[in-house]
Structure 1
């Protein structure tokens, strides 16, 4: 082969390798979507896998100190179909989420002793092994505090919460040695200051890859109407709950910023206000009403059916108000999502996660995240 031909061949190979590397380049930030498998079969054909880095499958139950698939037929099918999305996005990670609001009642018992923690950790990782998944997410609502009615909780939860992650990490490390793969351990955590006070988040961070702060479901204080997923406090009350305040509290507790996932709500929350003052904000709540998913809000409610759209510039939060029914609906939209993406970059956080994928089936918000967190 002539020298010129050899040089051309080397150049072509180099270009090919570079193109391949650019094609498979991972996203800089995590974009983690929760998918509700508890409803039954998941329509994975509607999931835009290229725009995600992680899917957290919700939920796995906790019974008798074991992680349990209570809908085995649909869960197993869903795992197979979700794994198939890796043909579209080879970097996509599928993680099981254990607990959630409805299935957290037995966590305290499950992690009470060293032997029970071992049992729980082994069963959690066995699901990963059996279905060839990528990690475990813990959504305990809430350690040391009352969550749903009937939940078991005790003061020892504070230390046992940490020890649970230690036990799961040890089992994941064993699987990693066996399979030659890296496995994830994450947790979804409440955004309140009380959650931080009832846990040892600095210690938990040593064992986890990401800590996903549920920066939604805030609402107003003392039974008043307020934003539910605002980035900042509004101008009327600098002490109100906000995503920024939650992030600051977790960082102060020892959680590295680069491990924090910021929560986005793909759904709205609604309340009937006592009166129309300030478009319902800060007024006494009369009752809760259905807010709906963002696709529904965007397509049928924004500046329609008696609702007018407003944007709180200080809080970086959107809301609708109907002065006739006195109903306010608070939600994330493209504008507030863009603000959250900027915040993630500025604060050097891990990225964004959201609940729940099919609350916005048209992908309005995921597209906004994808555009702003490349």
Structure 2
């Protein structure tokens, strides 16, 4: 015991040393070797720091792509193909990092199928620290599912060396031995869904070391962890911490808790399943989740929890709708915030009614659906065969129409569309009844699959095309008509997209700025109302995110293609060779080249606002536009947002 004794207290003979000990004091405290038995628990960081690790290494760099050092990466790293990698996730209860995945230098991180993780320990064959290389490779080779890591510093903010200690299962979950003498606090372990009460020696429960005296005759003792099952109040608190008040994504519903097994039921399986899978509802929905807890002795108890699931944007008069055909990857947050309906163009149909469009579907899946689900947008699949004459072959055969409608439902279900838009431009007069027959089958099958899904059609304004759609009869199979009140005229110095009729030239010098008979929004609405009895709430009128250009050639204004609004603003509006005008009667802006050789009619923020006001004043379904990729400035979308009060 390291005490010294005076030499005179010894006596010697030939073969012995004699010493007489003072009588022991039975009240003295003694050192005791203590063994801690976790009984299902786990040691936390504070205790493991006092244990000898299985291996100890030093990380010297962050994000070293060169491969010369033992490095650590965060969860944003994507490359590192030829590095040996160990992926770590923090357990906040124990403050330990657990190895959740490894990679034997097989691939880039971005290409690996990985669970959630926080950090990556990475080492290359060229690493100067051969100890680190060998240790990491050996751990990867052993594929140990119960390997844990402790750092001596915060791995996110360390600047110099970062010590990394590895612990195996027998340390984290095993017994712990220590010699104690003083009255100290005993270690506190952790066990999922249990409360730690203290350490039992078989008779008493301790949280501090009780100390033992010589008279107790104890030099070794084993303490066993005492755990108390969580109460139902604890379960309630746990679930309330898991379930958000407003659910927006899948939730992990526990199937066990302390000494209970749990089964779940949902009042709305179509919104939240009994496994916690979430599907956004079309209308605001209150979901009741009922947990049935069954104890080991067979006793059952039930607890209910409510969550609110916000539905899609409500479709009421003043809908903001769009078509998107190009530049899916450039959509902005304002796009989703403003719009109610997003018509994605186009998936194509062949003459047998089969649908195809891998790039289209990939664009929708990657750039539209994720944000649309967050914002509650209705995502519609717009169908347009190429060439358009294939519509005639589809519609002429009832069996093909049936197959076509079935294929629409199949794609809706597979990709998560909220309906279909039929873009047949344009049936012949003799095909009008075929259009109705096609729409009837499509409508019935889509609605049978999900009555909330939309069936819409793109049909032009004016007096010439609507009669070809048998609208008196077909309208009952169409939720909304996307009235294409743009591109109605492309020559003779006439507007393509006027709000109101104006038959005399706004610019008399050059003979431009007027409307063709029936080719305005107001006239088109009257035709739809009077000739086909279509109510205003079914009509979504179109505005142009592009301009139609005409050139004066051989004494006449002739069509010369389209100009995106982006280019109109960039190359024409502030160009001294051109002048911008606004026809207040027709509510149309136009640009005229000063020498009278070019004329462009288009929409600008002012005309969009005027059309929004008209829509709201007349109880129309809303506004849509062709198409989003034509305006990268955001000006027209912003005007639409303002005009429709979005």
Contact in 2 for aligned 1:209/1:259 (Cα 8 Å): yes
Contact in 2 for aligned 1:267/1:332 (Cα 8 Å): yes
Contact in 2 for aligned 1:65/1:111 (Cα 8 Å): no
Q: How far apart, in 2, do the equivalents of 1:219 and 1:50 lie?
A: 32
Q: How far apart, in 1, do the equivalents of 2:549 and 2:564 lie?
A: 11
Q: How far apart, in 1, do the equivalents of 2:309 and 2:624 lie?
A: 26
Contact in 2 for aligned 1:295/1:360 (Cα 8 Å): yes
Q: How far apart, in 1, do the equivalents of 2:458 and 2:375 lie?
A: 24
Contact in 2 for aligned 1:262/1:353 (Cα 8 Å): yes
Aligned length: 328
Structure number with greater CO (CA < 8 Å, separation at least 6) is 1
Partner in structure 1 of residue 436 of structure 2: 162
Contact in 2 for aligned 1:111/1:120 (Cα 8 Å): no
Contact in 2 for aligned 1:231/1:316 (Cα 8 Å): yes
Q: How does 1:186-265 map to 2 (within 5 A)?
A: 186-219=456-489, 223-236=491-504, 239=517, 241-252=519-530, 253-265=532-544
Q: How far apart, in 2, do the equivalents of 1:46 and 1:295 lie?
A: 19
Distance 1:67 1:249, change over 3 A: farther
Q: How does 1:1-374 map to 2 (within 5 A)?
A: 26=314, 28=316, 29-36=318-325, 42-45=329-332, 48-70=335-357, 72-90=358-376, 92-99=377-384, 102-144=386-428, 155=430, 157-176=431-450, 182-219=452-489, 223-236=491-504, 239=517, 241-252=519-530, 253-274=532-553, 284-285=556-557, 287-324=558-595, 326-374=597-645
- Select the structure that is richer in helix: 1
Which deviations, in whole Å up to 9, do the C-alpha atoms of 1:289-341 show, x marking residues without a partner? Answer: 34421122123311414110111121111100012261011100111111111
Contact in 2 for aligned 1:341/1:372 (Cα 8 Å): yes
Q: How far apart, in 1, do the equivalents of 2:549 and 2:339 lie?
A: 28
Q: How far apart, in 1, do the equivalents of 2:382 and 2:534 lie?
A: 20
TM-score calculated relative to the size of structure 1: 0.80
Distance 1:44 1:349, change over 3 A: same
Distance 1:291 1:302, change over 3 A: farther
Q: How far apart, in 1, do the equivalents of 2:365 and 2:387 lie?
A: 20
Q: How far apart, in 1, do the equivalents of 2:381 and 2:630 lie?
A: 19
- Select the structure that is richer in strand: 2
Q: How far apart, in 2, do the equivalents of 1:372 and 1:22 lie?
A: 25
Structure 1 residue 23: Cα displacement: 11
Distance 1:170 1:74, change over 3 A: closer
Q: How far apart, in 2, do the equivalents of 1:25 and 1:170 lie?
A: 24
* Aligned-residue RMSD, C-alpha: 2.6
- 5+ residue gaps, structure 2: 1-244, 246-284, 286-307, 505-513
Partner in structure 1 of residue 252 of structure 2: none
Contact in 2 for aligned 1:33/1:354 (Cα 8 Å): yes
Structure 1 residue 53: Cα displacement: 0.6
- 5+ residue gaps, structure 1: 1-12, 146-154, 276-282
Structure 1 or 2, whichever has the larger Rg, is 2
Which deviations, in whole Å up to 9, do the C-alpha atoms of 1:154-185 show, x marking residues without a partner? Answer: x1x11110111110111112211xxxx61000
User: Secondary structure of 1:198's match?
Assistant: helix
Q: How far apart, in 2, do the equivalents of 1:336 and 1:262 lie?
A: 13
